């Protein structure tokens, strides 16, 4: 297998904030044999990309990968994701309620003409609408990565979710919730003030993210 070439072309334009870069480098230092971070952005039939971010070793690189060196951090991106991430910045939020990487991406997926996947308008209580959104749109999307999301409850405008399957045990951060699920729920149900992930990700055995 050939060695991916270092890519300095201006069209990539993927950036990490200093804090995000430091967090990834810390993760690399704790994982011997891992030499780079692979980032992905895939269309999944919803208005938000499905982001993935994982540490890889030299054996995890492919010939068609695009490679960046960001102040000593080795970043690997496949051609499709490179196109979807043009001009994106990866940041890191460190808050009491939610902490993790955040993708600030000017690009949006090309949503199919069939729409979001919902069958008709959302009606009912907040919990009923969230449950239907999960069943008809969000879970079919995350199922492509072996994941499933369960609604645990709604209280004072906060939606409490539990991630399972491939979404359980996020090795890096909780950006899947922040970037995709929370954004979609709040877009479809404006009364929702916050989405909280109560999953114990430390017990995840085989996470995709």
Tokens in use for 201? 């990700």
Q: Which domains does the chain have, with CATH numbers?
A: 15-104 (2.60.300.12), 126-203 (3.30.300.130)
Q: Nearest to residue 148, comparing CAs of 204, 77, 193?
A: 204
32: left (phi over 0), alpha (psi -120 to 50) or beta: beta
Residue identified by tokens 């780079």 is 36
What is the chain's length?
209
| pLDDT tens profile 24-49 | 999 999 999 999 999 988 876 667 78
131: left (phi over 0), alpha (psi -120 to 50) or beta: alpha
Provide the pLDDT for residue 18.
94
| pLDDT tens profile 132-148 | 999 888 887 766 556 78
Spacing of C-alpha 98 from chain mean position = 14
Distance CA 12, CA 69 (A): 12
Provide the pLDDT for residue 160.
93
- Specify the pTM: 0.61
Spacing of C-alpha 171 from chain mean position = 12
Provide the pLDDT for residue 173.
40
Distance CA 98, CA 121 (A): 30
Query: Which pLDDT tens digits describe the chain residue by residue (209 residues)?
Result: 445 545 544 456 899 999 999 999 999 999 999 999 999 888 766 677 878 888 999 999 999 999 999 999 999 999 999 999 999 999 987 765 556 788 889 998 876 444 446 677 889 999 999 999 998 888 877 665 567 889 999 999 999 988 776 554 444 444 555 567 888 898 899 999 988 878 765 544 433 33
How many other C-beta atoms are found inside a 10 Å radius of the C-beta of residue 114? 7
Tokens in use for 45? 């039939």
């Amino acid at each position: 297998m050939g060695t991916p070439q270092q890519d300095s072309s201006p069209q990539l334009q993927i950036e990490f904030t200093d804090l995000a870069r430091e967090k990834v480098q810390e993760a690399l230092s704790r994982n011997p044999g891992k030499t780079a971070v692979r980032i992905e952005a895939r269309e999944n039939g919803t208005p938000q990309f499905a982001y993935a971010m994982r540490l890889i070793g030299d054996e995890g690189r492919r010939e068609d990968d695009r490679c960046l060196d960001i102040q000593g951090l080795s970043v690997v991106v496949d051609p499709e994701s490179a196109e979807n991430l043009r001009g994106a910045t990866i940041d890191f939020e460190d808050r009491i309620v939610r902490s993790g990487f955040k993708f600030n991406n000017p690009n949006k997926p090309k949503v199919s003409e069939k729409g979001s996947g919902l069958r008709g308008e959302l009606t009912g209580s907040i919990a009923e609408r969230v449950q239907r959104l999960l069943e008809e749109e969000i879970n079919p999307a995350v199922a492509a990565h072996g994941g499933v999301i369960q609604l645990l409850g709604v209280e004072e405008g906060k939606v409490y979710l539990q991630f399972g399957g491939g979404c359980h045990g996020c090795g890096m951060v909780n950006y899947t919730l922040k970037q995709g699920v929370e954004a979609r729920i709040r877009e479809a149900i404006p009364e929702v003030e916050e989405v909280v992930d109560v999953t114990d990700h430390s017990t995840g055995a085989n996470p995709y993210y």
